[in-house]
Amino acid sequence: MRKFIWWGTGIAVALWSIVAFVAYSLVDLFGSSAAGLSTVPGFTPDSYSVGWFADALHNLGLSVVFLVWLVGALGLLAGAGIGHALTGGRRDTLPERRSWGSSIPSGPPSAAGRPDHGRRR
């Protein structure tokens, strides 16, 4: 179940990243077009002109898209972490090794029945 949660989260973050990339690209395309069309080539935009304002909105839009992507990705990862924590912990011990009728023993002969797994002190 835990692997399913993390794989699903990875796919969700990938899809969320694609959506954010498309939004970033659209804001960049229209914002840079608006900023580029409102300035005179060869001159820097004056403060508080249409070109300066369009450029400021373009930069603000790109920052907002990045912050929304970051909050969404962190939210998805936090949800996966909570789901991971709620699905239970690991087993403390492994099941006993057994020979299922085979002629091959399941462990070294000296380890059978010894709590220190056959290590001599």
pLDDT digits (tens, 9 = 90+) for 56-82: 888 898 999 999 999 999 999 999 999
The reported pLDDT for the residue numbered 35 is 74
3-state secondary structure the chain: CHHHHHHHHHHHHHHHHHHHHHHHHHHHHHHHHHHHHCCCCCCCCCCCCHHHHHHHHHHHHHHHHHHHHHHHHHHHHHHHHHHHHHCCCCCCCCCCCCCCCCCCCCCCHHHCCCCCCCCCC
Number of domains, the chain: 1
| Any domain includes 48 | yes
| Any domain includes 121 | no
| Any domain includes 112 | no
Q: For residues 10 and 84, give the distance between their C-alpha atoms in angstroms, rounded to a whole number.
A: 14
The reported pLDDT for the residue numbered 15 is 97
| Any domain includes 21 | yes
Contacts of 2 (CB under 8 A, 6+ apart): 84, 87
| Any domain includes 35 | yes
| Any domain includes 49 | yes
pTM over 0.85: no
| Any domain includes 45 | yes
What single letter denotes the amino acid at residue 16? W
Q: For residues 27 and 57, give the distance between their C-alpha atoms in angstroms, rounded to a whole number.
A: 10
| Any domain includes 41 | yes
pLDDT digits (tens, 9 = 90+) for 14-25: 999 999 999 999
- Domain extent, residue 38, equals 15-86
